[in-house]
Amino acid sequence: MLKRKEHISQIIVTAAQMRDIEARIFAAGMPVSALMEKVAGLITRRIQDIFAQASQQSTVTLLSPQAGILVGPGHNGGDALVVARELHFSGYKVWIYSPFDKLKELTSQHLQYAQSLGIPCYQDIEQLPNCDFLVDGLFGFGLERTITDPIAAAINQFNLWNKPIISIDLPSGLHTDTGEVLGTAIRATYTLCLGLWKQGLLQDQALDYVGKAELIDFDIPLADVQAVLGNAAIKRITSATALSTLPLPRPPVTHKYKEGHLLLICGSRRYAGGAILTALGARGSGVGMLSIAVPESLKHLLVSHLPEALVIGCPETETGAFAQLQLPERTELSSFSAIAIGPGLTKDATSIVQEVLASDRPLVVDADGLNILAQLGTIPTLQKRQAATILTPHTGEFARLFPDIADAKDRVKAVREAAARSGAVVLLKGARTAIANPQGAVWINPESTPALARGGSGDVLTGLLGGLLAQGVNKEIPVEDIVATAAWWHAQAGILAASERTELGVDAFTLSQYLLRVIAGQW
């Protein structure tokens, strides 16, 4: 059973959900002022830790650090004012920028007290003194309107200062749910998210503004979280949850077929590399038995790269694409634990994809398999399937599969609707990969690297996912958990490889070689 801290670190909320959770806390008797003091105290200590670490790494030691505090009209501004007070008492030189005439009552009281302490307060950005860093408390969660001048101009000016900015809860100007920039937004160096992760922080379009995001846990009762979210929670994939789904340790008495038999159907003469990379991803999963169906002319190439695999050469067209899926004698699609299809196929393989979709095997569909599925009609085709189906589109493929669903502003909403309507588990690739099952559960992978933005990286993921699915299908592991683990594992391999080789040095072949290094370092 997960410990509370691990459970809290997984949960992602919308603005409405956070509002309801806070309402329960306040209704139970927690004073707003007491919670503000607690939260701001935690923020202050984290800011001091960040600044202390930065000072240790710098050749210049500042005896009296200078902090600029940006104060908005709501309770986010109140948090910032308590931080200003506490930094002032700790010996920091502090000034306050408070450009709003009307403040919430509690925020106004904290501003009055800060001024009584002699902390200078300014409304005009042109009058602001220098500082070593800024604390952004302009807007908290729930902002929905576009920011206009003069606040927009001030935010743009702060971004040009080239000073570290620590945003409270989320960078001011970001939509809490979609991560959309509402006119303009603070480009934070750090974001200290309060209580529970906000959905917008894990949307691709927010990532240029979030900086390094951390959760400030102020002890929200799990009962309140569960009462509001129920079973439809959106969760971050953490290392603990990903590792718990791995097929490790293996039982002392087992054999290759007990550890899953995966069939890969991939490749063509034009895209032979797709078959190799997919197979290398499957090898990295540790699947017990790997069969690879390829056009006949690719057979020797695949054998040379994966001598342990059973490579099945199939009849091919004049252009080197699949003409027919021809399995060995006494072998049917039902002989396999799972099937993965798509990388490198070309659209000439439509009949092969139709045959596999009609099978009763758990199935991963990627690349040309997705393009063919889109031509066949995604939703009516998938609604006929009885077995688990996993789709792994990038944004372009997603738009072809679900042309009336794709929503660039809210990937979480889009992937959840696609899964519900198709009956498939959908993995939407991106800097923050989102995964949804048909029942409405969503997982988001919170860590990745632009090193994965290279041809073939997705093929490795398809093989890895297929191998994990083949191993997990008889272990009663939910399919979406297997998908989440594959996404996490794939991303961590890219992160590890990039740390050693730079982001430019992680080609897809290299990525496949780092898969087992990730697990060896964790297990």
Q: Return the pLDDT at 483.
A: 98
Which residue, 400, 358, 393, is CA-closest to 377? 400
143 is in an annotated binding site: yes
pLDDT above 70: residue 58: no
Q: Return the pLDDT at 315.
A: 97
CA separation for the pair 441, 426 (Å, rounded)? 11
360 is in an annotated binding site: no
140 is in an annotated binding site: yes
pTM reported for the whole predicted model: 0.93
507 is in an annotated binding site: no
Q: Return the pLDDT at 384.
A: 94
| Contact between 69 and 97 (Cβ < 8 Å) | yes
CA separation for the pair 456, 465 (Å, rounded)? 14
CATH number for 4-230 (one of 3.40.50.10260, 3.40.50.880, 3.40.50.970, 3.40.50.300): it is: 3.40.50.10260
- Coil vs helix vs strand at 416: helix
87 is in an annotated binding site: no
In 52-202, the DSSP E strands lie at 66-71, 93-97, 121-122, 133-137, 165-168, 190-194, 197-198
CA separation for the pair 414, 338 (Å, rounded)? 27
Average pLDDT, integer, range 240-266? 89
Asked if domains 4-230 and 248-518 share a fold, the reply is: no
- The H-or-E segment that residue 284 falls in is helix 272-284
Average pLDDT, integer, range 92-120? 97
CA separation for the pair 193, 214 (Å, rounded)? 6
78 is in an annotated binding site: yes
430 is in an annotated binding site: yes
pLDDT digits (tens, 9 = 90+) for 339-370: 999 999 999 999 999 999 999 999 999 999 99
145 is in an annotated binding site: yes
- Give me the sign of the Cα torsion angle 133, 136, 138, 144: positive
- Coil vs helix vs strand at 461: helix
pLDDT above 60: residue 66: yes
The amino acid at 12: I
Which residue, 159, 102, 91, 83, is CA-closest to 125? 159
pLDDT above 90: residue 407: no
169 is in an annotated binding site: yes
- The H-or-E segment that residue 244 falls in is helix 239-245
Average pLDDT, integer, range 5-16? 93
383 Cβ contact partners less than 8 Å away, ≥ 6 residues apart: 422, 423
183 is in an annotated binding site: no
CA separation for the pair 17, 458 (Å, rounded)? 34
124 is in an annotated binding site: no
CA separation for the pair 240, 225 (Å, rounded)? 20
As a three-state string, the secondary structure of 217-269 is CCCCCHHHHHHHHCCCCEEECCHHHHHHHCCCCCCCCCCHHHHCEEEEECCCC
Proportion of the chain above pLDDT 70, given as a percent = 97
CA separation for the pair 323, 185 (Å, rounded)? 53
Average pLDDT, integer, range 30-52? 95
At the top level of CATH, which class does the domain 248-518 belong to?
alpha beta
429 is in an annotated binding site: yes
Alpha carbon of residue 174 to chain centroid: 17
Q: Return the pLDDT at 4.
A: 83
Q: Return the pLDDT at 253.
A: 79
76 is in an annotated binding site: yes
Average pLDDT, integer, range 324-344? 96
Please state whether the peptide bond connecting residue 315 to the residue before it is cis, i.e. omega within 30 degrees of 0: no
Residue with tokens 């691709």: 204
300 is in an annotated binding site: no
CA separation for the pair 492, 447 (Å, rounded)? 8
Q: Crossing angle for the helix pair 479-501 and 457-472, nearest 10 degrees? A: 140
459 is in an annotated binding site: yes
CA separation for the pair 113, 36 (Å, rounded)? 15
Which residue, 480, 4, 76, is CA-closest to 225? 4
416 is in an annotated binding site: no
454 is in an annotated binding site: no
pLDDT above 70: residue 408: no
| Contact between 143 and 172 (Cβ < 8 Å) | yes
432 is in an annotated binding site: yes
Neighbours of 30 (CB within 10 A): 14
200 is in an annotated binding site: no
The rounded mean pLDDT for the chain is 94
510 is in an annotated binding site: no
Which residue, 500, 521, 520, 523, is CA-closest to 510? 500
Domains of the chain: which residue ranges?
4-230, 248-518
CA separation for the pair 323, 129 (Å, rounded)? 73
Which residue, 509, 445, 453, is CA-closest to 480? 445
